[in-house]
Amino acid sequence: MSVRMYDIKKGIKKIKLFDNANHVTSYTKNKEEYDKTVGEFLNEIGIG
């Protein structure tokens, strides 16, 4: 589902998939990497 949503979304976007988690558990199983990825994305688009 994550890839499908990514493909449909227009505009600025970034996707990060975790081998050990699905869409719902990505954050709880990968907090540090998830936060790092979101922070990098926000910096790339000038919000961070």
Range of the domain at 30: 2-44
In the predicted structure, residue 6 carries a pLDDT above the cut 90? yes
Q: What is the pLDDT of residues 24-42, one digit of tens each?
A: 899 999 999 999 999 999 9
C-alpha pair distances (Å), 43 with each of 1, 11, 33, 37: 26, 16, 15, 10
In this structure, what token pair is assigned to residue 38? 């979101």
Number of domains in the chain: 1
DSSP per-residue string spanning 2-39: HHHHHHH--SS------TT--TTTHHHH-HHHHHHHHH
Position 17: which residue type?
L
What pLDDT was estimated at residue 2? 84
Residue 29 contacts by C-beta under 8 Å, 6 or more apart in sequence? 18, 20, 21
